[in-house]
């Protein structure tokens, strides 16, 4: 038995809160780069207060002239646990820019060396189900067969199921198969981290996430899925010729099936997400004139803990001390 130790997730949520607060001022203003930049700046400053020696494995690509949270960047105070870090300051930059639901700010951490580095891979085929169906999901099974087995494991009929799918041309055949099987569908333009979390959240109407989305987002999702006990099955699914060539040159096996346990090889994970634009997953940032209100999820893999946090912030007090301008 171990005595309770520090839950870094409760520190981590301050990072996503800061990013959400800052970027939410750009809601619906049509400038996704400005919204993303606001989140990046706030997230970087907040990371510096954390007692970790962090290295970003899942970031915003290679370092360039613009300040960003790039792959390989060091974050944290430099003391404390050595960890791998996955970030998405704004998951769903288009959702934020055009005022659409389910833009969120997301961070996950795990012990150093435990996170899969996607390298030149951008896209990954994914199947996400809650814990009750983790032993029956099969990435290679026909869609109809999968839905029948998953429905049975969840104690439902197929026509009770709700499947999260990104509304992309590459999913035309998938959507047709789901409809033919009789399941219901939620189509989303962006945001497959949110989709993965919806599928394993016992309070959400979504039962399954299916389809091809971002590889970095798959690793981020794995940090949370390890805490909630769901199952993520994934396989690299390059969509572009350059991506295919880069994976071939790197000798990466595109037939290998990953799970949440191979994408993040430790259950000592922490995950935090804060809503930005609001929606069915997490409520967005609200401004009352004197206060800001945020809504977050915090998870810890080692204990299987999930907390929902509503934070009320007096903006006048915050602005007396904050280096980030939230007003």
169 labelled as ligand-binding? yes
60 labelled as ligand-binding? yes
Delimit the CATH 3.40.190.90 region(s) of the chain.
123-263
231 labelled as ligand-binding? no
pLDDT digits (tens, 9 = 90+) for 265-312: 999 999 999 999 998 889 999 999 999 999 999 999 999 999 999 999
End-to-end CA separation in angstroms for the chain: 46
pLDDT at 243: 92
| CATH for the stretch 7-113+268-320 | 3.30.540.10
Report d(CA 325, CA 185) in Å as an integer. 40
Low-confidence stretches of the chain (pLDDT beneath 50): none
Task: Determine phi and psi for 102, rounding to 5 degrees.
Answer: 75, 20
Residue found under tokens 């389809």? 211
307 labelled as ligand-binding? no
51 labelled as ligand-binding? no
Q: How far is CA 161 from CA 92, 153, 238, 311, in A?
A: 25, 12, 28, 33
Least Cα distance to 311 among 9, 18, 99, 27 occurs for 18
Task: Determine phi and psi for 7, rounding to 5 degrees.
Answer: -95, 100
Query: Which tokens in the block code for residue 104?
Result: 């969120």
Q: How far is CA 184 from the centre of its chain?
A: 23
pLDDT at 321: 76
191 labelled as ligand-binding? yes
192 labelled as ligand-binding? yes
pLDDT at 166: 97
- Residues near 292 by beta carbon (within 8 Å), at least 6 away in sequence: 21, 285, 286, 312, 313, 315, 318, 326
64 labelled as ligand-binding? no
214 labelled as ligand-binding? yes
| 123-263 fold | D-Maltodextrin-Binding Protein; domain 2 (3.40.190)
Check: CB of residue 62 under 8 Å from CB of residue 70: yes
pLDDT at 280: 83
Report d(CA 327, CA 315) in Å as an integer. 7
168 labelled as ligand-binding? yes
Report d(CA 115, CA 203) in Å as an integer. 28
Q: How far is CA 106 from CA 98, 254, 286, in A?
A: 19, 27, 18
123 labelled as ligand-binding? yes
Delimit the CATH 3.30.540.10 region(s) of the chain.
7-113+268-320
88 labelled as ligand-binding? yes
pLDDT at 84: 97
């Amino acid at each position: 038995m171990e005595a309770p130790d520090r839950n870094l997730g409760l520190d981590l949520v301050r990072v996503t809160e800061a990013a959400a607060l800052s970027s939410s001022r750009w809601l619906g203003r049509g400038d996704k780069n400005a919204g993303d930049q606001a989140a990046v700046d706030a997230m970087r400053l907040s990371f510096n207060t954390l007692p970790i020696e962090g290295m970003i494995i899942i970031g915003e690509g290679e370092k360039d002239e613009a300040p960003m949270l790039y792959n390989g960047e060091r974050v944290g105070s430099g003391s404390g646990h050595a960890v791998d870090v996955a970030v998405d300051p704004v998951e769903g930059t288009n959702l934020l820019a055009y005022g659409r639901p389910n833009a969120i700010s997301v961070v996950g951490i795990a012990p150093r060396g435990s996170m899969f580095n996607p390298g030149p891979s951008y896209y990954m085929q994914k199947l996400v189900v809650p814990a009750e169906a983790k032993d029956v999901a099969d990435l290679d099974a026909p869609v109809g067969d999968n839905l029948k087995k998953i429905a049975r494991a969840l104690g439902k009929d197929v026509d009770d199921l709700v499947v999260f799918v990104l509304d992309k041309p590459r999913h035309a055949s998938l959507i047709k198969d789901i409809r033919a099987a009789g399941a219901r569908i939620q189509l989303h333009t962006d945001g497959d981290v949110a989709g993965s979390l919806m599928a394993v959240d016992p309070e959400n109407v979504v039962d399954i996430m299916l389809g091809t989305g971002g590889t970095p987002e798959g690793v981020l999702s794995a940090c949370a899925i390890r805490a909630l006990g769901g199952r993520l099955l994934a396989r690299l699914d390059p969509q572009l010729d350059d991506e295919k060539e880069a994976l071939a040159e790197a000798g990466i096996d595109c037939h290998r099936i990953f799970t949440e346990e191979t994408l993040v090889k430790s259950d000592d994970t922490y995950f935090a997400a804060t809503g930005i634009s609001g929606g069915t997953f997490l409520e967005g940032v609200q401004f009352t004139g004197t206060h800001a209100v945020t809504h977050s999820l915090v998870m810890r893999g080692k204990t299987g803990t999930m907390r929902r946090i509503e934070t009320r912030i007096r903006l006048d007090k915050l602005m007396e001390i904050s280096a980030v301008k939230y007003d």
